Amino acid sequence: MKPQSFLSQNRSALWFLLSLTVFALIVTVLSDAMGNGMISTSFVKTLGKTLCLMLVAIAMDVVWGYTGILSLGHMAFFGLGGYMIGMWLMYARTEIIVTESLRAAAIPPTPQEIHDSVGTQIFGVVGSSEFPAIWLFAHSFWLQIAMVVLVPGVLALVFGWLAFRSRVTGVYLSILTQAMTLALSLYLFQNEAGLRGNNGLSGLQNLPGLEDLPQATLSLAFFWASAVALGAGYVLFAWVVSGKMGSVIRGIRDNESRVRFLGYHVESYKLFVFTLTGIVAGIAGALYYPQAGIINPNEVAPIASIYLAVWVAIGGRGRLYGAALGAALVSLLSSWFTSGGAPDIPLGFYTLHWTDWWLVLLGVSFVAVTLLAPKGIGGLFDLLGHRHPVPERVGDFGPDKGARRTVEGEEER
Amino acid sequence: MKTLLEMSGVSVSFDGFKAINNLSFRIGEPELRAIIGPNGAGKTTFMDIITGKTRPDSGTVVYGEKSISLLKMSESEIATVGVGRKFQKPTVFEAQTVRENLAMALKNKRGPFDVLLYRKTQAGARRIGELAETIGLTDALPRIAGELSHGQKQWLEIGMLLAQDPRLLLVDEPAAGMTPAEREHTTDLLKRAAQKHAVVVVEHDMEFIRRLDCRVTVLCEGSVLAEGSLDHVTSNPEVIEVYLGR
C-alpha cells in the first residue's frame, strides 16, 4: 500500500479548503476594510457568522449523520461557548470604562472598588451588584478561553456519559437532549443564574482595548478567524470520519449491537463523538457571538438546535460539505426572507409576506427533502460523477432512527 | 483437551416463559460441537447468554484458564476476550465495503483513541487479503457489502468472525442460503478452525451436521436432552419423540 497524504485521500476536504480560501479572499478584497465597499461591514459580519454556523453544522453532521445520534443539544453547547467568551468581553470592556471614569476622582480607586463598580455596571440591569461565583475567571482572557472549551465539553461529557451508559437510543435520546437544552435555557432565563437573565450579555462586538479599530476591520478579522476555524474543524472532522474511526462510527449508526459483538465499546465511541462535537460547537459559538454582539437565553432554546438539524438534513447527512452548504444556504436565505429582503408576492386576494411565510416554506422544504431527496443538497455532487452510485446508507432514511433496527433497543434477528 | 467454557445451572425466563432451564454445557479447546434442537429450544438464547446480550436469572458461565465469569462483562468485553459470533441472519455493515467490514473485525486494540490513531499496516492488509481469499471474496473487496448476494454476505460474516481471531466461535446457521459446494467449503472452514479453537455450530440441516462429524448436543425446551455422536443422539427415543412428535 502506498502511503498517501491525508488531503489526497480526502478530495472533498481539499476542495472545501480551496473554495473556502477563494471565498474568504474575494470577501476580503470587496470588503469595506479594504476601502472597496462592495460588501458592507454588516454583511461581512453576516458572512462571518454564517461560517460559524457551518462549523457547528459539520459537528452536527458528525454526531447525527455519521454516528446516528440525533442530538437536539448542540446549539446549547454553541450558546454556552458564546456565553463564556461574552463574560470576558463584558467584564474587560466594563473594567476599562469604569477605570476611565474613576480616574478623575481625587483619590485613586483601589482594585476592589473597580471590581465592585464593574459588578454594579454589569448586574445593575438585574438589580444586583455582586459577582456570582461563575464569573470567577471572567477577568482573565485565557482562563475564560479555557472555559469556552471546558464548559461545553464537560457538560457534553457528563450528559453523554449518563445517557449513553443507560443505552438510551434513537428518538428517546433526542428527547433527552432536547430536555437538557430546554432546562439550560430556562435556567439561564433566571436572574439568579448569574448571566443577566433574559437580558443576556450585550455589547460583545466591542473588543476591549481595540476601541480605536473600526468595526470594518474588526468584522473582517472575525470573518477570517471564523474561516480558519471552519477550515481546521473541517479537516479535523474529515480525519475523524475517515479511516477506521469513520468505519466504526458508521457501523454504530447502522447496527450498534453488531459493533458491540465485534468488541467495540459503543458507549465510549458515542461519548467521544458527542464530547468532541460539543467542544467544537462551543468554539463556533465563541466566534459567532462577538460578531452578533448579543447573546441571550433564547439562543440556547431547543428551537435553535432543531434548526441546526434542519440545516444538516437539507444539506445532506453523512457528508461534511453537505452539512456546511445546507447551513450556509438555509441560514442566509432565512435572514434574507425574514429581514424583508425577499419581495412580497401579491396574489390579489392575499399578499404573501415572506416574513410570515418563510417558516412554512422552510418546513415544507424540510419535509420534501426528507421524503424526496434524502441525500439533500450534497446529493447533487453525486451527479458530477466520480462517486460510487450506491447510497451511503442502505435502508431507512427516516429522521428519527439512529440505528437500523426493527424494535427499539432490540437487535435484528 | 482443556475446558474453555463451562455453563452450569443456567436458567433464564422471559415474562414467565422459561427459555433456558437449568442448562449445563461445557466445551473444550480445541473442539467442534454441533447444537441441534427444534424451534424454540433456546439455541439462540444460549448464544445470547454467552455473548452477554441476555443476562441469566441464575447459574454461572465461566471462561478461559482463569475461569473468569462472563456474566459480569459487557458484550464488547466478552468479544475482546475471544468470543466471536456469527448471527443467523447475516448482519454485515451494508453501507460499507467488504474491505472495511473485514478491517473493522480485524483483531486490534478496540479503544476509541486506538482506533482514531490507527494506521493501516502491511500485516493488516495481508491478513485481509488472506481472509478474502479464504471466503472467496477477493474480487469483491472494494464493493459495498449491501450489493452482495445473501450467500456472499454469509461468507463475509464468516470472514469477519475469523478476522477477530476468537478462541470460541459461535456460529448460528452458517449454511443457510448456500449452494451445496459452498456448504462443503463452510464445513472445511469450520473443521479447520476447530483444530485450534472451540467452535459451536447451531444448524438445522442434518446433512451438514453429519459432514461436520463431531459431538452433537440436542437442546429441547431450554435444557440438554442428549449429547454424543450424531448416530447416538438420533437413535435416542426422546430425541426422536421431540423431532417427530411435533
Reported as a single tens digit per residue, the pLDDT across B12-60 is 998 888 889 999 999 998 899 999 888 888 888 999 999 999 999 999 9
Residue B217 gets the label, from left (phi > 0), alpha (psi -120 to 50) or beta, of beta
CB–CB of B110 and A412 under 8 A?
no
State the complex-level ipTM: 0.89
Nearest to A257, CA basis, from B128, B74, B152, B201: B74
| CATH number for B169 | 3.40.50.300
C-alpha dist (Å) from residue A316 to A73, A149, B172: 19, 28, 37
- Cell matching residue A183: 432546562
Kindly provide the b/e burial profile for residues B191-209, where b requires at least 16 CB atoms within 10 angstroms of the residue's own CB. Answer: eebbeebbbbbbbeeeebb
Report yes or no on B122 lying in a domain. no
CB–CB of B96 and A247 under 8 A?
yes
Query: Looking at beta carbons, which residues of chain B come within 8 Å of A251?
Result: 93, 96, 104
Report yes or no on B10 lying in a domain. yes
CB–CB of A245 and B115 under 8 A?
yes
Residue B180 contacts A where some CB pair is shorter than 8 Å = no
Report yes or no on B141 lying in a domain. no
- The domains of chain A are located at 6-339+357-384
Nearest to B176, CA basis, from B149, B147, B214: B149
Query: Looking at beta carbons, which residues of chain B come within 8 Å of A250?
Result: 93, 95-96
Q: How far is A268 from chain B (nearest CA, A)?
A: 7
* Longest alpha-carbon distance in chain A: 83
CB–CB of A261 and B79 under 8 A?
yes
Digitized pLDDT (tens) for each residue of chain A, 413 residues in all: 444 667 777 788 999 999 999 999 999 999 877 777 788 888 999 999 999 999 999 999 999 999 999 999 999 999 999 999 999 999 999 999 998 888 877 788 888 888 888 999 899 888 888 888 899 999 899 999 999 999 999 999 999 999 999 998 889 999 999 999 999 999 999 988 889 999 999 999 888 888 888 888 899 999 999 999 999 999 999 999 988 999 999 999 999 989 999 999 999 999 999 999 999 999 999 999 999 999 999 999 999 999 999 999 999 998 999 999 999 999 999 888 888 777 888 888 888 888 888 889 899 999 998 888 888 888 888 777 655 544 444 444 443 444 444 444 444 44
Report yes or no on B157 lying in a domain. no
Q: Are β-strands B58-63 and B2-14 bridged in parallel, bridged antiparallel, or unpaired?
A: antiparallel
Residue B80 contacts A where some CB pair is shorter than 8 Å = yes
Residue B228 burial by CB count (10 A; 0-12/13-18/19+): exposed, middle or buried?
Answer: middle
Total domains present in chain B: 1
Report yes or no on B150 lying in a domain. no
Query: Looking at beta carbons, which residues of chain A come within 8 Å of B55?
Result: none
C-alpha span between A78 and A277 (Å, rounded): 10
* Range(s) of the domain holding residue B190: 2-97+165-244
